[in-house]
Chain A
């Protein structure tokens, strides 16, 4: 049975937040906390100007609309990595899917992204062939 620390049913009012997150304040200006693994991630990333996902678990947060950094989305849901796409010039893109509203977004991978997590994501279609025989049939047809 869960322990109850508060015996009365009156709930304390939420504490007023006096620290402004984001630009202009010293706190959480140069980093963010990952929604998936709770690690603190610096915003500066090698190879990309704007990082939008955690380099460790590759999860992201649905805060932007169509333009990166516009903070136009009111969803704030967790975005999990869905697949890896490749640009014609060979750059990898990470496709995220919002767990809350189902929106998809693509972002270039950063230089310090977890190579093992990226490789697991890239190998996922080959590991479990979902549509029966699609992967095996395609391999046999080659």
Chain B
């Protein structure tokens, strides 16, 4: 799949943003007044900025209001609705915490639940697609949620909780990579089933329908960078998981949390780039490609 910058920024930033809001809703840390202001500014900035970035790849973004209408069937619509509702709840919660030094805890819990559901809905946009076997697996939502909460735990300066979540995210990342590598083959979809001609012999794409490029090939048969996948996986894993864990084991100063959060975010960008670049869509089979 084509790793579009806007979608990478969207999933990374809004994942961290809604994760941070979750921590704040749980009262971890319990911040009020100006201290709370900066936390909420960061949370809303990441969550809202990510959502804004996601509109950059739309063909007709001016019609975005319609995207809130199909929550009964569409994970993308659910994600939009949940994002707006949870940000509204946290807006109220933040007003209490910043301007009145009041923590309306039930509201915080509701907001935290909605924020976690938002992250889940984001991941399900990808995990629901049977056409992309690598994504179509339970490890996708689990990994998205662990990374969002673990990474934002660094922003919320939560030592052990975020370390445990990041360690679990590391394990889940390995599960996702190792199980994902063979899933395309194991699902049994190949050029033979795609054309229905597989029962007759060995099928080979002889001539493509068009000599030039097209939307399908640009969007779904992205191959650039797959050859560096192993190196990028190591870079992503070290920055996203190992470096933050190592830094926090050395010391738990505020500076360490900031450095760990920056490294983690950089690693997550690499991981998310790979998430798209390594994902293979079954439509490539019609072109004899993967």
Q: Do A and B interact with each other, yes or no?
A: no
The chain A residues found within 8 Å of chain B, CB to CB, are: none
